[in-house]
Amino acid sequence: MSDRLLDARLVVDRGVFRLDVPLRVAPGEVVALLGPNGAGKTTALRALAGLHPLTDGHVTLDEVDLDRPATGGWVPTERRSIGVVFQDYLLFPHLSALDNVAFGPRRHGVERRAARATAREWLGRVGLDAQAQRRPRQLSGGQAQRVALARALAVAPSLLLLDEPLAALDARTRLDTRAELHRHLSAHAGATVLVTHDPLDALALADRLVIVEGGRVVQEGDGPSVTARPRTDYVARLVGLNLYRGRADGHGVRVSPELTLTVADRLDGEAFVAFRPAAVALHPARPEGSPRNTWAGTVADVQRHGDNVRVQLDGPIGVAADVTPAAAAQLRLVPGQKVWVAVKATETHAYPATG
């Protein structure tokens, strides 16, 4: 087996929007395309499925060109070795759960009885033996999701595609389904590409994250490296970090004309500095002593955030701070109020912006 079952460069021009995403997935690997709405994730998925032709680039699966505009290579959707779990599942409403799952094997030339046996096996694997004869509208959201997964996997696809697989579920069902989905994705021998805007889903399900913004890949890597070293504001917000880009010179990173942050790491050149909102302390007067970064800020917004209070501050740099409700009350934080902001150098994490 090659180390990349799927090799693609997805280029789709849609008027002013251009998607250009290189993507390589090894057998058994789960890659999440993570990005905000409108980033082009679903277009990428549709291009892989052959539901949207490429403008340029290629989709090569198992060394066969499925789509390559330059040479005119094209394999239509129904002849691609793929399985798709759609966002709202699209289970055929006129067929039972069993026949929905048997639909794929039947179309692949399997005789009816054998196709049903395969379907029953898959329904068993997702824990739905008892619901085999139910119509989709008689299934709960979580059950429909599992039928959709079984239907996609029943044809043993080389490439499994999932579009926001958990988005349609309520919070409670989501946790259970996520764990179960992870189990099935780990067991899938082929390549898996899943599209989501939820970082938790991506981190829980994928071996590797590809972060797409405005049709481009802005960051790529495994979960820990992406969450520890965000490279765009979008990723920083997703993982809940304050992120700044600036010029590093030893232990100082100049993040705005008026502010140079002292950091624990030592580096030079273009760099990112990240720190947690909880690492930000607020003071009514300028704090003395200790190796801290301090600057004057103005409260822009105060909101409840879990057990704490999240304070957005303007100043030389915009920053989010998490303080306890007691501290917030003591400081009498209201929008427009001036406070001193302090961040310890040891609480920051600095890393090069290049490479």
Partner 1 sequence: MPAALLIPAGLGLLFLVLPLAGLLIRAPWTTLLERLTEPGALTALRLSVQTATLATALCLLLGVPLAWVLARVEFPGRRLVRALVTVPLVLPPVVGGVALLLVFGRRGLLGGWLDSTFGITLPFTTTGVVLAESFVAMPFLVIAVEGSLRAADHRYEEAAATLGASRWTTFTHVTLPLVAPGLAAGAVLCWARALGEFGATITFAGNYPGRTQTMPLAVYLALETDLESAIVLSLVLLVVSVGILVALRERWMTTA
Q: Which residues bind partner 1 (CB under 8 A)?
A: 49-51, 76-80, 82-84, 86, 90, 92-95, 103-104, 107-108, 151-152, 155
b/e burial code for range 303-330 (CB count within 10 A of at least 16 → b): eeeeebbbbbbebebebbbbbeeebbee
Q: Please say which residue, 26 or 90, places its beta carbon nearer to partner 1.
A: 90
Q: Please say which residue, 105 or 215, places its beta carbon nearer to partner 1.
A: 105
Smallest separation, CB 178 to partner 1 (Å)? 23
Asked if residues 243 and 233 have their Cβ atoms less than 8 Å apart, the reply is yes
Q: Please say which residue, 115 or 235, places its beta carbon nearer to partner 1.
A: 115
Q: Rounded distance, CA 319 to CA 304, Å?
A: 16
Smallest separation, CB 161 to partner 1 (Å)? 8
Q: Please say which residue, 117 or 239, places its beta carbon nearer to partner 1.
A: 117
Smallest separation, CB 93 to partner 1 (Å)? 7
Q: Is the dihedral of CA 38, 39, 45, 51 positive or negative?
A: positive
Smallest separation, CB 78 to partner 1 (Å)? 5
Q: Please say which residue, 77 or 330, places its beta carbon nearer to partner 1.
A: 77
HEC string for 187-237: HCCCEEEEEECCHHHHHHHCCEEEEEECCEEEEEECHHHHHHCCCCHHHHH
Q: Please say which residue, 25 or 155, places its beta carbon nearer to partner 1.
A: 155
Smallest separation, CB 92 to partner 1 (Å)? 6
Q: Which residues, other chains included, contact 139 with Cβ-Cβ below 8 Å and sequence gap of 6+?
A: 91, 97, 131, 147
Smallest separation, CB 104 to partner 1 (Å)? 4
Smallest separation, CB 175 to partner 1 (Å)? 27
Smallest separation, CB 33 to partner 1 (Å)? 17
Q: Please say which residue, 162 or 323, places its beta carbon nearer to partner 1.
A: 162
Q: Rounded distance, CA 21 to CA 11, Å?
A: 7
Strand stretches in the chain, DSSP E: 6-14, 17-25, 30-34, 56-61, 64-68, 73-74, 82-85, 159-163, 191-196, 208-213, 216-221, 242-256, 259-275, 280-283, 292-305, 308-314, 319-323, 338-344, 349-352
Q: Which residues, other chains included, contact 263 with Cβ-Cβ below 8 Å and sequence gap of 6+?
A: 248, 251, 252, 253, 273, 345, 348, 349, 350
CA distances from 281 to 244, 330, 340 (A): 18, 13, 8
Neighbours of 331 (CB within 10 A): 18
Q: Please say which residue, 41 or 310, places its beta carbon nearer to partner 1.
A: 41
- What is the DSSP secondary-structure string of 74-118? E--GGGS-EEEE-TT----TTS-HHHHHHHHHHHTT--HHHHHHH
Q: Please say which residue, 35 or 50, places its beta carbon nearer to partner 1.
A: 50
Smallest separation, CB 90 to partner 1 (Å)? 4
Smallest separation, CB 154 to partner 1 (Å)? 9
Q: Please say which residue, 95 or 175, places its beta carbon nearer to partner 1.
A: 95
